[in-house]
Copies of this chain bind each other. A is one copy, B any other.
Amino acid sequence: MKIDGTPYRSVWVDEQDRWSVRIIDQTKLPWKIDILRLTDAPAVAHAIRSMQVRGAPLIGAVAAYGLCLSLRQDSSTQAMEDAAATLVQTRPTAVNLRWAIERMLTRLRNTVAGDRVRVAYQEAAAICDEDVAQCEAIGRNGAELIDEAARRKPGKPVNILTHCNAGWLATVDWGTALAPVYMAHDEGLPVHVWVDETRPRIQGAALTAWELGRHGVKHTVISDNAGGHLMQHGEVDLVIVGTDRVTRAGDVANKIGTYLKALAARDNDVPFWVALPSSTIDWTVSDGIGEIPIEERSPTEVTTVTGRALDGSLATVRIAAADSPAANPAFDVTPARLVTGLITERGRCEASEKGLRRLFPERAG
**Which residues 191-227 of A have a CB within 8 angstroms of B?**
194-195, 197-200, 202, 205-206, 209-210, 212-213, 219-227
In the complex, the answer to whether B321 meets A209 with C-beta atoms within 8 Å is: yes
A222 to chain B, nearest CB (A): 5
* Neighbouring B residues of A222 by C-beta, 8 Å: 302, 326-328
Residue A228 CB within 8 A of the other chain: yes
In the complex, the answer to whether A224 meets B206 with C-beta atoms within 8 Å is: no
A319 to chain B, nearest CB (A): 4
* Neighbouring B residues of A331 by C-beta, 8 Å: 229
* Interface secondary structure of A, over-half rule: mixed
A219 to chain B, nearest CB (A): 6
Considering only CB atoms, which chain B residue lies closest to A338 in the complex?
B267
* Neighbouring B residues of A289 by C-beta, 8 Å: 232-233
A317 and B313 CA atoms in complex are apart in Å by 9
Residue A257 CB within 8 A of the other chain: yes
Residue A42 CB within 8 A of the other chain: no
A321 and B317 CA atoms in complex are apart in Å by 18
A4 to chain B, nearest CB (A): 13
In the complex, the answer to whether A224 meets B227 with C-beta atoms within 8 Å is: no
With A224-B199, A224-B257 known as contacts, the answer to whether A232 contacts B333 (CB < 8 A) is yes
A188 to chain B, nearest CB (A): 22
Considering only CB atoms, which chain B residue lies closest to A313 in the complex?
B317
A136 to chain B, nearest CB (A): 24
In the complex, the answer to whether A223 meets B220 with C-beta atoms within 8 Å is: no
A49 to chain B, nearest CB (A): 20
27 A–B contacts from the bound complex (CB under 8 Å): A30-B321, A30-B322, A197-B302, A197-B319, A205-B319, A205-B326, A209-B324, A213-B323, A219-B325, A220-B325, A220-B326, A221-B324, A223-B257, A223-B302, A225-B256, A225-B260, A228-B263, A229-B332, A259-B264, A260-B260, A260-B263, A304-B307, A305-B305, A306-B317, A309-B315, A316-B317, A317-B317
